[in-house]
A and B are shown apart, each in its own frame.
Chain A
């Protein structure tokens, strides 16, 4: 049972390039989330999904797009990468929403934009 798996683990991009981060969960969770983690700022929610085919904006959605075509996968896209998007990205999932549903996190993707 892998839990939440993120790929890739590391990536270096040039400004203006595009890429997609993949998150996969095998726990049949309804809710999935994408966060970014920057030094001194904790985790900030980018986008989230409450079920297959649905997405919603979080606290810092600008410059990112997401898709949830399959229940087990949640994709985070950067159409035109900028240095300000250099960060560690974490995906999480939970059975349902709300504070009484613990979020399970992946191990992160470290992304550097040059």
Chain B
């Protein structure tokens, strides 16, 4: 199956800081998705990207679809304690099969 590599694997930041994470694959995809998972819950979709170069924001979150279509980036501005969780990138192939990245664990220190 497809492998999506996320980096960094984990991050510890102070409240108020900005943070960025990325996701790369060896294949080209037409869709990139970013999910957040909080402890004891399932992932929740944050942002969806459908076009190379696309930049989309959702509040303090901004995601970008890489020009090569093999990567995507997520940034969070002015982090707050409730941003804590694991952030997953995901994509889907032409057979409608979804693939998820390995996740970036974010800890925000008040």
Question: Which A residues are closer than 8 A to B by beta carbons?
Answer: 4, 31, 33, 35, 40-45, 48, 50, 58-59, 90, 92, 97-100, 102-103, 105-108
Contacts and interface: CB of A to CB of B under 8 A. Distances in A.
A44 B100 contact: yes
A42 B98 contact: no
24 contacts: A42-B6, A42-B88, A42-B100, A42-B102, A42-B103, A43-B90, A43-B100, A44-B1, A44-B100, A45-B98, A48-B97, A59-B97, A92-B42, A98-B31, A98-B92, A98-B96, A99-B91, A99-B92, A100-B50, A102-B33, A102-B45, A106-B42, A107-B41, A108-B40
A102 to B, nearest CB: 4
Given A58-B97, A100-B48, A105 B92 contact: no
B43 interface: yes
Contacts of B1: 44, 59
Report, as a range, how many residues of chain B touch the other chain: 20 to 34
Nearest to A50: B96
B44 interface: yes
Contacts of B88: 42-43
Nearest to A90: B42
A99 B30 contact: yes
A71 B88 CA distance: 28
A59 B99 CA distance: 9
Given A99-B91, A100-B31, A100-B50, A105 B44 contact: yes
B42 A45 contact: no
